[in-house]
Structure formats: structure tokens, C-alpha cells
Amino acid sequence: MKDILQTAAVLVGSLILFVPLTAVTVLVAVSSLWIVVTGDAFPNGPVSATALFVALLLGYGTAMEICRVRLHGFGQLHRGTRTRRLARHGMLGVVAFAAVVALGRILLNAISFGLANNEPAIIGLAVAGLLALSWVGVRSLTAFRAGTRRFRNGTSG
């Protein structure tokens, strides 16, 4: 009974925390990329409804993967066929990319605000944030490549 309650608590916690967070992050990233690519504001109607639906699906998928990892360990990310593993890593990669875009937008807005209001402290913190985000991105990609290489060679447990 205790295991069922623990599983339910982790599942509900993942759904409550990660579905909205991931959905908002993906929507911010999609609207940011839309503005950069088209130069126009993100449209309402079918495009935004589709983006919301996809963002919610990505949020649900992310929450489920986080729940599995919390309950059974990181080996869960490598379960299934090669196609399923690629799809899983691709989904999580899209969410990670969306997070980088959303954080980049926030930090660039902070730099813009600092320049407009002559606030060097805000500019410095935002630039430091961009540098930290870049460093984390490079380290994450390096660790991901090393982990997949270890798994492929059979040395990951």
C-alpha cells in the first residue's frame, strides 16, 4: 500500500509541477521563435490552439518521464526500442531547447531593460546569466553525448 501511495504522490506531483511549467515554457519559446522568424506577433486562432495542444502533450510526456526516473532511476530513459528511445530523447531535447529559448528571451529582455534605464547592474547580471546558460548548455550536450556513447558500448548500468 505504501508503494502505491508513493507512486501516486510522485505521479500527481509530476503532473501538477511539470505539465504547466513545460507548457508555458514551450509556448514562450514558440512565440519567441515565431517573432524572430516572421517578425510578426504570434497569431491567435488555430495556430495558437495547435501550439497549446502540442505544449500540453510535451508537458504530459515530460511529467511522465520525470515520474519514471524518480521512481525507477535514469535507466528508464533507455527503455524500449531504439526508435522509442530516440523519440523520448527527442521530446526531452525539444523541451530543453524550449527552456533555453525562454530563458534566453528573459535574459535578453533584462539586457534591453538595463540599457533603456541605464542600469549597469541589471545588464551585468543578465550577461552573466547568458554566459552561465551557454556554459550549462555546452556541459549538458557533452554529458549527453558521453552518456549515450557509454550506453551504446554497454558500460552504462
pLDDT tens across 50-93, in order? 999 999 999 999 999 999 999 888 888 888 898 999 999 999 99
Domain locations in the chain as residue ranges: 1-79, 81-156
CA distances from 36 to 21, 39, 144 (A): 23, 6, 28
Phi–psi pair at 113, nearest 5 degrees: -65, -45
CA dist 120 and 98 (Å) reads 28
pLDDT tens across 94-117, in order? 999 999 999 999 999 999 999 999
Percent of the chain at pLDDT > 70 equals 97
